[in-house]
A and B are shown apart, each in its own frame.
Chain A
Amino acid sequence: MLKNLCEKMFGRSLWVYHANSGGCNGCDIEVLNVLTPYYDVERFGIKLVGSPRHADVMLCQGPAMRSTGQALKRAYDAMPAPKLVFAIGSCACGGGMWFDSYSVLGPVEKVVPVNYYIPGCPPRPEAIIYGVAVALGLVDKKVAPVEFKQIEFPIPIYHPDDLRRDHGMVVYEKLKQV
Chain B
Amino acid sequence: MSVLSKLEETLICLKAGRVTLPYPAQARPVPENFRGRPIFDATKCIGCAGCANNCPAREILVFDVCQEIRILQYLGRRCTYCGRCADVCPEKAITMSLEFENATNKISDLGQKLDLFMSTCQRCGRCFKGAAALEELKMKGYRSDDIPHERWIYRADAFLQNEPENEPIVEDIQIELD
Contact = CB atoms under 8 A, between A and B. Distances in A.
Given A94-B75, A143-B104, A160 B24 contact: no
A118 B103 contact: yes
Contact of A134 (B80, B104, B110, B136): B104
A165 B160 contact: yes
A145 B109 contact: yes
Q: Please indicate which of the listed interface residues B110, B116, B146, B150 has the most CB atoms of chain A within 10 Å of its own CB.
A: B110
Interface in A140-166: 141-151, 153-157, 160, 163, 165
B128 interface: no
B69 A96 contact: no
B57 interface: yes
A43 B107 contact: no
A169 interface: yes
B124 interface: no
Interface string A120-154: 11011011111101110011011111111111011
A94 B80 CA distance: 10
B104 A173 contact: no
A99 B160 contact: no
Interface string B63-86: 001101100000111111110000
Interface in B87-117: 99-117
Nearest to B65: A157
A39 B159 contact: no
Contact of A148 (B20, B58, B100, B115): B115
B24 A130 contact: yes
Interface string A76-112: 0000000000000011011111011000000101000
A129 to B, nearest CB: 5
B157 interface: yes
Contacts of A123: 100
Interface size class of A (residues with CB under 8 A): 35 or more
A15 interface: no
Interface size class of B (residues with CB under 8 A): 35 or more
Contacts of A154: 142-143, 152, 154
A70 interface: no
A178 interface: yes
A143 B160 CA distance: 36
B56 interface: yes
Interface string A3-15: 0000000000000
B152 A116 contact: no
Contacts of B42: 148, 150
B100 A116 contact: no
Contacts of B101: 126-127, 130, 142
Given A93-B78, A153-B115, A154-B152, 5 more contacts: A39-B23, A40-B21, A94-B77, A116-B105, A151-B117
24 contacts: A40-B20, A40-B21, A90-B77, A97-B57, A117-B77, A117-B103, A118-B103, A129-B24, A130-B24, A139-B24, A142-B101, A145-B112, A146-B112, A150-B42, A150-B114, A154-B143, A154-B154, A160-B159, A163-B157, A163-B160, A170-B160, A172-B154, A173-B152, A178-B150
Interface of A: 37-40, 43, 90-91, 93-97, 99-100, 107, 109, 115-121, 123-124, 126-131, 133-135, 138-139, 141-151, 153-157, 160, 163, 165, 169-173, 175, 178
